[in-house]
Amino acid sequence: MPQYFGKLHTTKQPWSTIGAVLSIQRDERSIHFECDGPRLAIKVLAPNLIRVQLTPTGEFIPRRSWAVALDDADWSVVPFEVRETDETLEIETEQMRVCVDRQCYIECFDKAGRPFAQDAEMGMGWRMGATAAWKQIQTDEHFYGFGERTGLLDKLAELQTNWTVDALDYGSLTDEMYQAIPFLIALRPEVGYGIFFNTTFWSQFDIGAEQPGVWRMETRGGDLDYYIIYGPRPEQILHTYTQITGRMPLPPRWALGYHQCRWSYESETEVRQLARDFRDRRIPCDVIHLDIDYMRGFRVFTWSPKRFPDPSKLVSDLVRDGFKTVTIVDPGIKHEPEADYRVFDQGLEHNCFVRQADGQLFHGYVWPDKAVFPDFLRPEVRTWWGDLHKSLTSTGVAGIWNDMNEPSIADRPFGDPGNKIWFPLDAPQGPDDERTTHTEVHNLYGLTMAQAASVGLERLRPTERSFVLTRSGYAGVQRWSSVWMGDNQSLWEHLEMSLPMLCNMGLSGVAFVGCDIGGFAGNATAELFARWMQVGMLYPLMRGHSALTTARHEPWVFGDRVERICREYIELRYRLLPYIYTLFWEAATTGAPILRPLLYHFPNDLNTYALYDQVMLGPSLIAAPIYRPGVEYRAVYLPAGTWYDWWSGERYEGSTHILTHAPVERMPLYVRAGAIIPMAPVMQYTDEHPLDQLTLRIWPGTGEWQFYEDDGHSFEYRTGAWATTTYRVHSDGQQTIVEIGAREGEWTPPSREVRVELVGVGEQCFQDDGIARCLTL
Ligand code: MIG
C-alpha cells in the first residue's frame, strides 16, 4: 500500500516490555539476562558485531540458516570485558562498548564515547503476534539500505515494509517491493552502524515516521533477533554484513557486457535477426534473453516447437557469433494431469508442490493458467528443480532469469479481473524436521528459487560459471543471484529513481543489480532512451528490456543519432570492463557495492547524504547524469580532493559545486586525481579477443589500484588461477612516477603490451611480463 495512505488504524493492545533483570550469566561469547519469564541474550561475534536476541516466553526459537551464512559458533571467539555496576552491565570489545541497564535498555558507544544504536524510551516490546524494538535517531543521522526501495536515497521519515510482492506499476510511494531485505545503515559524521533484522516474517522499519527522533523495527515473529554492526564507515558495515549473509560469487565476465531483452523475441527468426543487427551495426552485445514466449504454452522447461524448432542449433549459432543465451523460468507449473507434462507429473509424484493446511494441492493462476508451485524451502525440491534446468543447459543456455517469484499469483484465470494472492499463510512449508508455515517463509520464496537455480547450474555446468537473475529475494540473495528492479516505466522519473534504487541495493549487500534500460512499461522517447543508455552503462547489470505491446527499445530504433550515442556508451562500458571486473571481484571478496552513492566514500561529508543523482562507479569515477528532458546543464557536486573531467581533462578542486554542460551526447563523468583505470580495446563481445592490449589510463595525483584478472569463465580462480597487479602513482614535484608491482597469483594473462597514458602529460608502453617496474613520465 502506498505510504501516502499511512497505516490503517487498528485497535492494538499495548506493548509489554521486558521488566527488571533478575540474574545475569556469562559464557565465552554471550551474556544472558534472565527476567521474570522473558530472556535476553547478547552475543559478541566480532569486535564490531553483536547479536541481540529477546524471547518473551523464555524459549529461544531455534535459529534457521536461511539468510545467515555464518553460524554463531563459526565466528572466532573474540575477547571482551564485562563490567557490572549497580545500574548497568557494560560489555567492551576492541571497537565498541555496549551498556545494558537493569531494564534491558541497550546503548552502544564507539571508542570516543559517541553513542549509536541506542534504545529509545520504549526499548523492546511485544504483544500478540509481534515484537519490536525502538531506537533513537541522532541529529544529522540518515538511513540507507533497506534492500529494494523506490524514491530517493535517504529513508528518514519513511516506513519500509519487508514483504515480497509483485510490485507492478510501482512508483515513488510504493512500500513493499519484490525484494525484502531487512537491513539498514544509519550514518552521521564520524559514526555509522548497520542493523540486520534477522526475521523472515513480515517486518517493518519506521524511520521516524510515527515519532520523529525514534526509529522502530517490528516483526510478526515471536522473538526479536537483530545484529548491530559498528562501522563507522559504510564499507566496514558491509564487510561485516556480508560475512553474516554471504557474498556474491564471481559471475562470468560475459555477464558484465550488454544484455538485450524484450518481452518477447518470440521466434528463432526474430532472435537471429536481432543478433545480426548487433553485429552489423557494430554495437557490442554479449547476452540475449528469451522471455516467456520461448516456451510451449508457458510450460516451464519446455521449448515451443513452432517458434523455436531447433533450440540447440540456434543457441550454438549464437555462441559462434559471441552471444550467450539466457532463458526466463517462472515458478508456476502448469497444472496438467495426464498430459505427459513431466514437470507437473514428477513434481506431483515426488510431492514437491506447496499444499494447503488441509493437504490439498494449492493452485493459483499465472501465465500457464492454472498452476502449482514448488516448495523451494525443501532441499530435495531444490535439487529436483535444479536438475530440471538440464532441458535448457543441454541446448547451451548459459544463464537463468527467475521471474514472478514473490511469488506472483492471481486468484482466477488471466483475463478475468482477479486479485493477486499468496499462498495461504498457514500452508505448511519446509522439510519435515523444520516444518513451518508460509507466514514465516513468504519472503524466502524468490531467494530459495534462485538458490535452486544457482546450485543446479553449477552441477549441470561444472566447469563454466553461469549467470542467474532474480526478481524476488531476501537478505543474502547476493549469494545466489543478480537482481533487477522489476517492472519500471519509460518515464524520466524512473530513470532518475534508478540510481538511488541501485545504490540502496548495493548498500544492502547486493552489488550485481540493474534496472531495465529504456524502461519496461511504456514507450521511451529518443531522448529518454539516449539518456537512459548513458546511465545504463553504469549499472552493474546492463540490460535493455521492454514489455509486450510497447514500442521496440533496441539501440537502433530511435534513429542514427541515438544509435551513435548508444554505441558510444556501450563501447565505453566495454572499454572499462577490466576496471569493472575488478570491482566485481572486490564485491565478491569484500561485499562492497559496485555502484555507490557518494556517501560511501565520503561518509563524513554531509553534502553527500541526500545526493541521489550522482553516483560512483568504484572509487575513481563520479557520474552526474542528466535525467530530465530538454536539460543540457546541471549542477555537479565534487567532494574533497582534485577531480578531472573525463572528457575534457579539465581540473577541479573539491569540495565545490560546478555547472556543467551536457548536450545529449554527453553524460558528465569525473575522475579522481591519482585514479588508475585499466581499459580494454572495444570488442563486440567480452571474449572476442583475449586482453592482449591493456591501457592504464592514469590521472596525475597519488593513487593505487589493484587490478584483478582471471580467465573470466571457469571456476579455476577458486584454486589459484587468478592474477593481481598493484599499480601506484605519485609525483615527486617535477615528474610523475608510475610503479607497476610484480604480478601475483597463478594465472598468466595473454602476452601483451601495456600502454600507460598519463592524462594530459604523455604515454609510455611496456611489454607485460609480470615483473615489477617503475616508469617516469
Ligand atoms: O506478468 O515474462 O518483470 O521483466 O518481461 C509479467 C514477462 C511477467 C514480468 C517481468 C518482466 C517480464 C514479464 N514478467
Which atom of ligand 1 is found nearest the CA of 547?
5
Strand partners, 740: 727, 773
Are 192 and 231 spatial neighbours (Cβ–Cβ below 8 Å)? yes
pLDDT value at position 600?
Answer: 98
Q: How far is the CA of 403 from the centre of ligand 1 (A)?
A: 7
* Cβ(295) – ligand 1 distance below 6 Å: no
* Cβ(487) – ligand 1 distance below 6 Å: yes
Residue count of the chain, please give it: 777
Q: What is the 3-state secondary structure (H, E, C) of 478-520?
A: HHCCEEECCCCECCHHHHHHHHHHHHHHHCCCCCCEECCECCC
pLDDT value at position 369?
Answer: 96
3-state helix, strand, coil in the chain (%, to 5): 20, 30, 45
Q: How far is the CA of 94 from the centre of ligand 1 (A)?
A: 49
Q: How far apart are the first and last CA of the chain?
A: 60
Mutate which of 263, 288, 295 for ligand 1? The one with the most ligand atoms within 8 Å of its CB, which is 263
560 counts as catalytic: no
Q: Which residue in 225, 403, 563, 613 is the catalytic one?
A: 403
User: In what order do the strands lie in the sheet containing 736-740?
Assistant: 703-710, 722-731, 736-740, 773-776
* Cβ(326) – ligand 1 distance below 6 Å: no
Q: How far apart are the C-alpha atoms of 148 and 160, rounded to whole Å?
A: 10
Which atom of ligand 1 is found nearest the CA of 291?
2
pLDDT value at position 12?
Answer: 73
* Cβ(292) – ligand 1 distance below 6 Å: yes
Which atom of ligand 1 is found nearest the CA of 261?
5
User: How would you classify the pairing of strands 214-219 and 130-136?
Assistant: antiparallel
Strand partners, 214: 136
Q: How far is the CA of 299 from the centre of ligand 1 (A)?
A: 15
Which atom of ligand 1 is found nearest the CA of 367?
1
pLDDT less than 70: residues of the chain: 1-11, 63
Residue 753 has which C-alpha cell? 603490451
Which atom of ligand 1 is found nearest the CA of 487?
3
Reduce the DSSP state of residue 117 to 3 states and report it. Answer: coil
**If you take atom 12 of ligand 1, which residue's CA is the nearest one?**
263
Tens-digit pLDDT profile for residues 63-78: 677 999 999 999 999 9
Reduce the DSSP state of residue 652 to 3 states and report it. Answer: strand
Q: How far is the CA of 404 from the centre of ligand 1 (A)?
A: 7
Q: How far apart are the C-alpha atoms of 135 and 122, rounded to whole Å?
A: 8
Q: How far is the CA of 269 from the centre of ligand 1 (A)?
A: 22
Are 101 and 87 spatial neighbours (Cβ–Cβ below 8 Å)? yes
**If you take atom 13 of ligand 1, which residue's CA is the nearest one?**
263
Are 381 and 352 spatial neighbours (Cβ–Cβ below 8 Å)? yes
310 counts as catalytic: no
Q: Is the entire prediction scored with pTM above 0.75?
A: yes
Q: How far is the CA of 431 from the centre of ligand 1 (A)?
A: 30
Q: How far apart are the C-alpha atoms of 508 and 184, rounded to whole Å?
A: 7
Identify the DSSP state of 720.
Answer: T
406 counts as catalytic: yes
